[in-house]
Amino acid sequence: MIKEEKLNLIILLVLFVIPFLAYLFNEPYLTTLTTKIVILSIAGIGLNFILGYGGLVSFGHAAFFGIGGYVTGILASHAQNSEQMFFFLQFDGSNQILFIWLISIIICSFIALLIGYFSLRTSGVYFIMITLAFAQMLYYFSISWPAYGGEDGLSIYVRNVFPFFNTMNPINFYFICFTWLLIFLTILKIILNSSFGLVLKACKENEERVKSIGINPFNIKLISFVFSGAITGLAGSLYTDLNRFVSPSVLSWQMSGEIMVLVILGGVARLYGPILGAVFYIILEQTLGGVSENWQFWLGLIIILEVLYARAGIMSLFLKDSKS
């Protein structure tokens, strides 16, 4: 039983050390697995920002994860084949990862602005459903649009290029992802402690009161939604580079469900909750997957037990000042 800050530090330290251990014991697969954990954590903390702190249950965050992934895949595949992207513009895509990140964030923010603008007019179950519908829209579009592989997905063969670093080295790529995780954790911590963060939490508690002190909750929620979409989108971009492949499955509703499950498993409205959720999720997938083909059956059982009996998430199991 420890304090939350201490637990957070331990989580980061463990994540920091694992790839070195993996290198020492010559287990490169472990590094890849941990990279996956870090990327899913980024996607999770993006969702947790609005879900945990703003009370906005988005069931369509795969939209941003997938768009980030496809932006990366499309830019890289054009660069590799030196194909012009637009018939009116001389632009052959890019394999510069910094540029790709920038474009992914811009496009995901824009899409989040559109989806958020329409979805946030509704609330409760309608909000859950309309975000799901927007993600499904993009999913079916990615399946039926033949230019970038349609249902078969799009391979990019090599990772995109980071200045002075060989991204094909698993440890290098891991630390790029890890740095992003640290950056977002820091930014979110600052935001959540600022007056903006306070207003966002207040919107979850009582929107009428927020209105009565002269703040428009819609704007606060929209800005947060855009920010959340951009974070999850960047995770999607990293995910494409990790796998060197992107397919419509990153836009599927199962993906939205998976991101949501790891947020809730870890502990809603705890900054480091999604990381612990992702760790737990991947460990379950790996161990149960090794024991039984039907590992998802056991995953389902564990989630149900968690919902029924351990509602505050895994984080709270370790914490002294457990808030339920």
Partner 1 sequence: MTISLFIEQILNGLQFGVMLFLMSAGLTLVFGVMGLINLAHGSFYMIGAFAAALFAELTGSFLIAMIASFVAALFAGALTELIIIRKIYKRDHLDQVLATFALILLFSEGIRWIFGAYPLYLDIPNSLSSSFNLPFEIIYSKYRMMIILVGIIIAIILYFLISKTLIGIRIKAGQNDREMIGALGVDVTKLYTIVFSLGAALAGLAGALIGAIQSVEVGMGEPVLILAFVVIVIGGIGSIKGAFVGALLVGITDTMGRFLLPSFFSYFFDNASATSIGSSIASMSIYILMATVLIFKPSGLYGVKK
Binding residues for partner 1 (CB under 8 A): 51, 57, 59, 118, 121-122, 124-126, 128-130, 132-134, 136-137, 140-141, 143-147, 253, 257, 260-261, 264, 268, 294, 296-297, 299-304, 306-308, 311
CB of 66 to partner 1, least distance (A): 14
The least CB distance from residue 170 to partner 1, in Å, is 30
Min dist. Cβ of residue 260 to partner 1 (A): 7
Which C-beta is closer to partner 1: that of 233 or that of 277?
A: 277
* Backbone φ, ψ for residue 162 (5° rounding): -110, 135
Amino acid at 24: L
Closer residue to partner 1 (CB): 91 or 141: 141
CB of 132 to partner 1, least distance (A): 7
Residue 23 or 298: the one with the smaller Cβ distance to partner 1 is: 298
Give 109 or 136: the residue with its C-beta nearer to partner 1: 136
Query: Min. distance of Cβ 133 from partner 1 in angstroms?
Result: 5
| Cα–Cα distance, 192 to 290 (Å, whole number) | 40
Distance CA 97, CA 7 (A): 32
Q: Nearer Cβ to partner 1, position 45 or 261?
A: 261
- Between the alpha carbon of residue 157 and those of residues 69, 160, 208, 210, 224, the distances in Å are 14, 10, 52, 50, 35
